[in-house]
Amino acid sequence: KAGVTQTPRYLIKTRGQQVTLSCSPISGHRSVSWYQQTPGQGLQFLFEYFSETQRNKGNFPGRFSGRQFSNSRSEMNVSTLELGDSALYLCASSFLSGRESYEQYFGPGTRLTVT
Amino acid sequence: SQQGEEDPQALSIQEGENATMNCSYKTSINNLQWYRQNSGRGLVHLILIRSNEREKHSGRLRVTLDTSKKSSSLLITASRAADTASYFCAGVPTNYGGSQGNLIFGKGTKLSVKP
């Protein structure tokens, strides 16, 4: 089975611009979660989608949004980029969602640099 | 924000030695998982231990869980240079959902194994 793929792998944007990141989960996985990783804050949960519905959302401003398509592929969008949005954005997929979730399978991440 | 704390933050050992990393968490969890991350890349799931288990083994890995102390430890025996990575504990909260999402990560232990 192919793993979780994320595109693009690297991205450089300017403050004020917007960006869209893409994630393709493992075939058959319906849950996709997004995390932001920075040296200062570590790994922080952004949101989770399951069967095209947002199940949970982390404590991030409304500039961060996402969606999931019928084929379980997911995108996240960040509008009006700020310097502090520079981070590694990780996508993870799992077969189940909820309290009985098993391990999550992570993609390689998208390294976003905002200048 | 994260609710897990790993200890130590950094660990440097020689090949062949054992490495022990500890994790403490604040919220009640349904299960606890350990992940490895090679520099700047995605996370790889190592092992999952359920809240009703006290110890689990997988190859050179041994994980313990003490729910009364809200702590877990990861032991890597006979370490190799290839084990050099950051290790994170992550818990699935019993009050799953909401802004916490499905996994709450600690800040990680950076392990360096010298050949």
pLDDT at B99 over 80: no
In chain A, which residues have their Cβ closer than 8 Å to the Cβ of B105?
A: 35, 42-44
In Å, how far from its chain's centre is CA B69? 16
DSSP state of B79: -
The per-residue pLDDT for range B46-94, each reduced to its tens digit, is: 999 988 999 999 999 999 999 999 999 999 999 999 999 999 999 877 7
What residues of chain A, 2 to 21, have a C-beta less than 8 Å from chain B? 4
In chain A, which residues have their Cβ closer than 8 Å to the Cβ of B45?
A: 103-106
* pLDDT value of residue B98: 55
d(CA B77, CA B73): 13
* pLDDT value of residue B3: 59
> Is A98 in Cβ contact with B103 (below 8 Å)?
no
- Please state, rounded to an integer, the average pLDDT across all residues of chain B: 88
Q: Which of A33, A32, A36, A16 is nearest to A112 (CA)?
A: A36
The better pLDDT of the pair B103, A65 is held by A65
Question: Could you give the 3-state DSSP secondary structure of residue B96?
Answer: coil
User: Which of A56, A105, A107 comes nearest B45 by C-beta?
Assistant: A105
Q: Which of B90, B113, B102 is nearest to B38 (CA)?
A: B113
> Is A103 in Cβ contact with B102 (below 8 Å)?
no
B89–chain A Cβ distance below 8 A for any pair = no
Strand B109-114 relative to strand B10-14, pairing: parallel
> Is A56 in Cβ contact with B45 (below 8 Å)?
no
* pLDDT value of residue A38: 93
In chain B, which residues have their Cβ closer than 8 Å to the Cβ of A112?
A: none
What residues of chain B, 15 to 44, have a C-beta less than 8 Å from chain A? 30, 33, 35, 40-44
The per-residue pLDDT for range B66-76, each reduced to its tens digit, is: 999 999 999 99
The per-residue pLDDT for range A11-43, each reduced to its tens digit, is: 999 999 999 999 999 999 988 999 999 988 889
Tell me the mean pLDDT in the region A65-78: 97
